[in-house]
Structure 1
């Protein structure tokens, strides 16, 4: 970059009549299907803990500081260096952050933002969470079925899906599974469009895309905004050919507001600041250091970072004293005054579809995903181990978080749908195959009842052990910990089986915490009850050697302390069932709490 102090001027093209509409929010009440979002003195604080586990220090960091602005129909870009401010501001506006650290007001058309605003607006995360094992149309049908009211007919839903496919030029790819980044991004946008929400949030929609795909995505957003949609997105280092299509620009750095106004006025505004204009070009070109992700590099350039913070403070003060800020403040004060007169409009919204409807669609989608890996399951036989059960929720975390917070379904619908469509099939088939192979090879008793009893016992054992993995794997970022804990516990359970043989009687109580213990006892009861190992000897001969020879299964079971009644068999299955219910309950509570739910919300959903 040149070191000259001459002002830098990049000519902006004039907007034509056919281009994007100007953002006009002077009279928000006249908007019908359009929405104007305004935010007033937004500040956000986070509590950060540092130090060793036993000597942690807690401090409060202000991530956003007194940020205000207005965003209406059009393309509203949020830019800034890679310090997390732009994504944080986007998430706060989209109601995707914990409101405990939030202060200020966020209004929609001059009225308080609904308590469940995230269910009535669209949000597309940076990492696409579309299901890649079903087609583009399948993903859109899933979104329409769960996010549109039950009063919308099937024909109306199909019409909306076809319109969205046409708008995004996806007609030829509607029966293709979204595997490429570009197709996944367009599918994510399409899933939000079928709901026809007036506001759409996107977190860095062009990250990881090449220039051609980026242009396609921005073109899609441009067409959407021309239909009256309010598009709010964060973006990093856009090309000028992309930047020129933005309607409004919000520039944040270090949690402070540097600029908020028409995007075409940004370069002229920063040029008027003299050499400070280089800051804006640094943001465009990515020259501003990443103080969070590249901490080591920032330490080596402390002087440079300090200079940039000085520039940040200077720009924030300059904008606070600018005519742009004064004009925005006047419009915000008018909206805030109207909001104070109508706080009663902030009503809480809920999911628009009932529990059974959500359960059916989640089960249907999960079965499609299961059929796609059926051949792998049959050939690899990898699902026979219980450790893989944790994958049911671990690998689906991002998708569940996005869909649940967007109002697709309740936690209970997702939980039971995954159990019915994935856990049960993944354990039923391997358990049956395992019994078919081992039952006849091991030479067990040839009885139809004995075979099906063993199959049932193996299934109960598999479900109970899988429930343990689920209870540990339902939280966030616990994949490695889950694998370690489950492995240790399974080793412990296998060792505890030796305690049934009388080894270390002092520790015999440990076996009651072992899941295989109950399955092992049920299998012994099934195999030995009714067996006669001395059929060639008469009763008198056997009675003389009863202290030395065990000729019946009942004798062996009595020595082992079994009840010979049917209760001696079913008590073990009851223990497995209770274990499974307790662990699945823990799984559900853990799943609910891991994503921001509290006890009152849990009771309300139940």
Structure 2
């Protein structure tokens, strides 16, 4: 009766309203029964014919249950299947998963995903954002519209206080190459991002990895408090100290995908003692369990012996059938509670498309402005602009070959520069994209559009500065309309090249391979652009029609020279249209030709970005 009254009291707090959203707890009983996970691997090298596909079993019938108010720790050596099981329980494991995983008796769904927190082992955070900015942006994206913007910001500040991050709230997060908050503080920021949604379930993969014992103790103590508040907490942990071990309500010991023990952490030593493996020295229980999981047992003489792990597996199965299974079946899934939990929030996304777009746009601008306008990058552009202006200083129409060379150099330089900048965009952000998309934070389309819009001012400012310096120093046509025409052509070239970089980066997702491929493609475009080779063989002449440089070069020529103009040559005055570098391209200085060149570039601009978006949609976990 007391248990039922306590359950009813918890359920009474689960209504999702602005007033009690931050206080409400949604009790969830997590059950996993006979979970099996297999993958197929191919035996033999890449060049071996008829490679045999082998099936490897990662998880071999793992069973357990975690109730609200409990913290389960999964122990085991590397390769034992801890992270795989955690990923499966968190609904993030691709491929075929056999067995049953239920949440209050129901299968995984979008509603459960929105009420589940998942902290990965590596802290995937934006380095240039402060702690407050990181949590506020996350709150604006993940909390539903039933909570006002002001309440979301206040909730983020409350989480900062709860996790003891007040002293560093205005410090940037940092990275391996940028000094920021400490490792423990960074881990608490990652946990704070998941606490913002007030999760019923909280999964953590190695939350103490790489931290000192004091910091690890502080983090696990925080998680223990969260569990005591009615949440269901599940974590993997490699080698906890004895202080940490005794904070775990339940322990699951894995070895090569098999369960060696499941039950209360305080009863693990007694269990193994009863089957003949008692520790002979006073030691950390976690160390003793890991020794057994590795197949090692230390006797009274302090000598290590290799033990038969199959015996431990069989003993666990026997104990499970006799004692644990009846106890698990006796734990009710709480039908009333599950309806209340699963019936909340019918929408797939917590916020609208426009809200996601605007928040992501602000976040992108704050984060990327440091990279786009870094001193090194700005200095590089200024130096190249000044050198170009000095090399072509006051080269009037009498130096026609020099002027045309400058125009082609600009099309080439501003083809390569934005291309290689854009290649790294998605490969560098794939971890963040996977993390946030797996949590149901936003639509892929809102993310993609925010990136495209955020890049516009950053990608267009530097070429504008470049052309403003070089154009007038080099003595190109001193006419404001010609200058604007040249500027428009250059910016269009930059955006198309950037789109090609985005498409290659999203399609290949390997930075070295994408860079090599981009170099080959851009070199082909330059060679077919009409400056180096005017008499291209017919069987390969088609390359120029897909060349960004070809159409940009056409626009540049049209911005500087008009039909009927002449230049000084060996026979007096010659038509500019008859100059080899221009005549070989078939340029006739008419408006229709210029519009066609610009139209093709616009089609490329849209087409390359569409290819990048489709490539992102095809990546495993990133599905729109």
- Give TM-score, length-normalised by structure 2: 0.80
Match of 2:84 in 1: 88
Asked if the contact 1:135/1:177 (under 8 Å) is kept, the reply is: yes
Match of 2:550 in 1: 517
> What are the residue-to-residue correspondences of 1:233-252 with 2, within 5 Å?
233-252=235-254
Match of 1:293 in 2: none
Match of 2:561 in 1: 528
Match of 1:583 in 2: 608
Note the alpha carbon deviations across 1:265-299, whole angstroms, 9 max, x for none.
Answer: 11111222223869976565679669xxxxxxxxx
Asked if the contact 2:438/2:622 (under 8 Å) is kept, the reply is: no
Q: Which runs of 5+ in 2 are unaligned?
A: 12-24, 174-179, 296-303, 383-415
Q: Distance in 2 between matches of 1:116 and 1:345?
A: 6
Asked if the contact 1:111/1:346 (under 8 Å) is kept, the reply is: no
Match of 1:379 in 2: 379
> What are the residue-to-residue correspondences of 1:542-561 with 2, within 5 Å?
549-553=573-577, 560-561=585-586
Match of 1:139 among 134, 139, 145: 134
Q: Distance in 1 between matches of 2:426 and 2:148?
A: 32
Match of 2:465 in 1: 433
Q: Are 1:502 and 2:541 an aligned pair?
A: no
Q: Distance in 2 between matches of 1:246 and 1:416?
A: 44
Match of 2:226 in 1: 224
Match of 1:262 in 2: 264
Match of 2:200 in 1: 198
Q: Which moved more, 1:132-141 or 1:427-436?
A: 427-436
> What are the residue-to-residue correspondences of 1:407-446 with 2, within 5 Å?
407-421=440-454, 423-446=455-478
> What are the residue-to-residue correspondences of 1:285-364 with 2, within 5 Å?
310-311=308-309, 313-322=310-319, 326-332=323-329, 350-364=348-362
1:222 to 1:558, Cα distance in 2 relative to 1, 3 A:
same
> What are the residue-to-residue correspondences of 1:568-579 with 2, within 5 Å?
568-579=593-604
1:119 to 1:35, Cα distance in 2 relative to 1, 3 A:
same
What's the secondary structure of 2:35's corresponding residue?
Answer: strand
Q: Which runs of 5+ in 1 are unaligned?
A: 1-23, 291-303
1:43 to 1:288, Cα distance in 2 relative to 1, 3 A:
closer
> What are the residue-to-residue correspondences of 1:75-114 with 2, within 5 Å?
75-98=71-94, 100-114=95-109
Q: Distance in 2 between matches of 1:285 and 1:253?
A: 9
Match of 1:10 in 2: none
Asked if the contact 2:252/2:263 (under 8 Å) is kept, the reply is: yes
1:552 to 1:83, Cα distance in 2 relative to 1, 3 A:
closer
What's the secondary structure of 2:491's corresponding residue?
Answer: helix
Q: Distance in 1 between matches of 2:264 and 2:508?
A: 40
Asked if the contact 1:250/1:257 (under 8 Å) is kept, the reply is: yes
Match of 1:596 in 2: 621
For residue 146 of structure 1, report the CA deviation from its aligned partner: 0.9
Q: Are 1:45 and 2:38 an aligned pair?
A: yes
Asked if the contact 2:37/2:58 (under 8 Å) is kept, the reply is: yes
1:283 to 1:504, Cα distance in 2 relative to 1, 3 A:
farther
Match of 1:62 among 49, 54, 57: 57
1:513 to 1:477, Cα distance in 2 relative to 1, 3 A:
closer
For residue 206 of structure 1, report the CA deviation from its aligned partner: 0.7
Q: Distance in 2 between matches of 1:534 and 1:169?
A: 74
Q: Which moved more, 1:162-171 or 1:254-263?
A: 162-171
Q: Distance in 1 between matches of 2:164 and 2:380?
A: 39
What's the secondary structure of 2:147's corresponding residue?
Answer: coil
1:253 to 1:420, Cα distance in 2 relative to 1, 3 A:
same
Match of 1:170 in 2: 165
Q: Distance in 2 between matches of 1:326 and 1:27?
A: 26
For residue 240 of structure 1, report the CA deviation from its aligned partner: 0.6
> What are the residue-to-residue correspondences of 1:274-289 with 2, within 5 Å?
274-275=276-277
Match of 1:296 in 2: none
Match of 2:396 in 1: none
What's the secondary structure of 2:528's corresponding residue?
Answer: helix
For residue 528 of structure 1, report the CA deviation from its aligned partner: 1.6
Match of 2:151 in 1: 156
For residue 31 of structure 1, report the CA deviation from its aligned partner: 4.7
What's the secondary structure of 2:118's corresponding residue?
Answer: strand
Q: Which moved more, 1:107-116 or 1:330-339?
A: 330-339
Q: Distance in 1 between matches of 2:294 and 2:598?
A: 61
Match of 1:487 in 2: 519
Q: Distance in 2 between matches of 1:203 and 1:236?
A: 10
CA RMSD of aligned residues (A): 3.3
1:386 to 1:170, Cα distance in 2 relative to 1, 3 A:
same
1:171 to 1:325, Cα distance in 2 relative to 1, 3 A:
farther
What's the secondary structure of 2:209's corresponding residue?
Answer: coil
Asked if the contact 1:186/1:217 (under 8 Å) is kept, the reply is: yes
- Give TM-score, length-normalised by structure 1: 0.82
1:560 to 1:396, Cα distance in 2 relative to 1, 3 A:
closer
